[in-house]
Amino acid sequence: MIPWGEGVYRRRIRLVADGLRVRADLEDDFHRFGVELVHDGACVVEARATAHRFPWETCPGAGSQIEALVGIALLPRAVDLAEHTDSRRHCTHLYDLAALALAHAAAGRERRQYDIAVPDRDDWKTRATLHRDGALALDWELDARTIRSPERFAGLTLRGRPFLDWIHANLDADESEAALVLRRAVYIAIGRATDLDAIATAADVTPLAGASCHSMQPAVAPRALRVKGSTRQFSASPEPLLSDLD
């Protein structure tokens, strides 16, 4: 188990376009996933997922949900993917990468990288930061699931629909995307407080997590065995993240 209270959760997401092909990759303490989309300028014509490191043995099975995105139109905002597919049937992280890749293709960008840091909470308080392409884009002081600062976000809860409605109404596409990325990381960072290798199957955590992803679905969770030893530690530096791509 990672020593709680002594470190920093880190996540890196990299988006790279090569012509009509977009590659999206993610790595953090618990995950290393990739999504590749090929499009014709308007719609996805090929889609595939890769699962390199994951917490449950069933996680790679969610790749079929990414393949089913063939035919979907490119989307101007990552949050828009929720209107076309049920995120709970996906691996959460493959779903996020697909949404980011669709928006990346729609914007015609060549490259984007997000680097997130969430120090372990002290009395449920922490300061979460997101750098986009090396520049600080978001800096949130958090008390549990509520943002306390900066002022424009103060009082905003990270919970579900209220958060999504607020960012859609108040932020442009780039900033709302960054907010989605940071929000997800804040939730995932809490996993550092749990000895995941002591959990036998995903069914043991569904009372808390609910049917929130592919491996947490009632038909899947009992056979979603824990991949022991799959957690990594990046507190000291973000540089090892996605180093297999460098």
Question: Exposed, middle or buried by CB within 10 Å (0-12, 13-18, 19+), for 153?
Answer: buried
Residue positions counted in the chain: 246
Q: What is the Cα–Cα distance from 4 to 190, expressed in whole angstroms?
A: 9
Q: Distance from CA of residue 156 to its chain's centroid? A: 20
Q: Residue 82 carries which DSSP code?
A: G
E strands, the chain, in order: 8-18, 21-28, 32-39, 44-53, 111-119, 125-132, 135-143, 146-149
Q: What is the Cα–Cα distance from 27 to 54, expressed in whole angstroms?
A: 10
Q: What is the Cα–Cα distance from 23 to 16, expressed in whole angstroms?
A: 5
**pLDDT tens digits along 116-154:** 999 999 989 999 999 999 999 999 999 999 999 999 999
3-state secondary structure of 32: strand
User: CB–CB of 57/227 below 8 Å?
Assistant: yes
3-state secondary structure of 117: strand
**pLDDT tens digits along 172-226:** 999 999 999 999 999 999 999 989 999 999 999 988 778 889 999 999 999 999 9
Sign, CA dihedral 57-58-63-69, equals negative
Model confidence at 6: pLDDT above 90: no
Q: pLDDT-based confidence at 3, cuts 50/70/90?
A: low
Q: Dig out the tokens for 201 from the structure.
A: 């199957």
3-state secondary structure of 218: coil
Q: What is the Cα–Cα distance from 147 to 139, expressed in whole angstroms?
A: 10
Q: pLDDT-based confidence at 97, cuts 50/70/90?
A: very high
Averaged pLDDT, 53-80: 96
